[in-house]
Each structure stands twice: as C-alpha cells, then as structure tokens.
C-alpha cells in the first residue's frame, strides 16, 4: 500500500484508511469460499476487500495524533477474514520531543 498521511490507532476504516491490496486467500472470506466452491474445491484467491472491525495495536505510547496513539512500524491489526495487516514503512524515523 502506498505511503499515506500519518495515522492513529483508530484509522482502520476499510476503503478509507485501508485500501484493498493483493488477493485474499482466506477460506473464511465468503467471496473466496464461493469462488473455491465454483472451482470444484480448488482454492481460488479473490481481490482483497479488508474488513477491519478492531483498531491497530499497540500504537505509540509517547506520540499522540488527534488525541490517540500514533501508528508506528510495530503496529498490526486483524482482518475479519484472518489476515494480519501491518505498518511496513512508517514514513518517519525520528520524533523530536520538546
């Protein structure tokens, strides 16, 4: 996913903060399950459409963005279909605290 604006732990809204990417291989995803059934049981990945009902964790303990912990390269969260989404490149490497 391309770099975007800085985010906080609540920035997890599908199609707004989290854009679709790649192919989903999770049989828990109804679209994948349907395509797999149509292919006589052969796993058939389908385009990603993330469903993210929970916020990012853990968030930066010392850095707030809009009153909530900011995201960093250790943050992850679960897609409802079983995948894990993570911050790969946070875009900032140094935080100056004054």
Could you tell me if residue 31 is left (phi over 0), alpha (psi between -120 and 50 degrees) or otherwise beta? alpha
Assign 95 a pLDDT band (cuts: 50, 70, 90). low
Buried b (16+ CB within 10 A) or exposed e, 48-79: bebebeeebeebbeeeebeebbbbbeebebbb
**Which residue, among 50, 67, 51, has the nearest Cα to 9 in the 3D structure?**
67
| Assigned domain for 45 exists | no
In a domain, residue 68? The reply is: yes
The answer to whether residue 31 sits within a structural domain is no
pLDDT band for position 5 (cuts 50, 70, 90): confident
More confident of the two residues 61 and 56: 56
Q: pTM, whole model, 2 decimals?
A: 0.71
- Structural domain contains residue 56: yes
Number of domains comprising the chain: 1
- pLDDT tens digits for 16-38? 888 888 899 999 999 999 999 99
Domain range for 5 is: 1-20+50-98
Burial of 93 per CB tally in 10 Å (0-12, 13-18, 19+): exposed
16 contact partners, CB below 8 Å, separation of at least 6? none
Whether the Cβ atoms of residue 26 and residue 20 lie closer than 8 Å to each other: no
Check pLDDT > 80 for residue 50: yes
Question: Residue 40 falls within a domain, yes or no?
Answer: no
Q: Report if residue 10 sits inside a domain.
A: yes
Q: Tell whether 67 is covered by a domain.
A: yes
């Amino acid at each position: 996913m391309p770099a975007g604006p800085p985010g906080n732990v609540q920035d997890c809204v599908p199609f707004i903060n989290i854009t679709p990417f790649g192919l989903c291989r999770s049989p828990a995803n109804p679209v994948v399950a349907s395509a797999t059934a149509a292919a006589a049981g052969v796993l058939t990945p389908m385009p990603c459409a993330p469903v993210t009902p929970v916020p990012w964790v853990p968030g930066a303990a010392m850095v707030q963005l809009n009153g909530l912990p900011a995201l960093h390269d250790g943050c992850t969260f679960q897609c409802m279909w079983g995948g894990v989404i993570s911050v790969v490149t946070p875009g900032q490497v140094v935080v100056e605290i004054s």
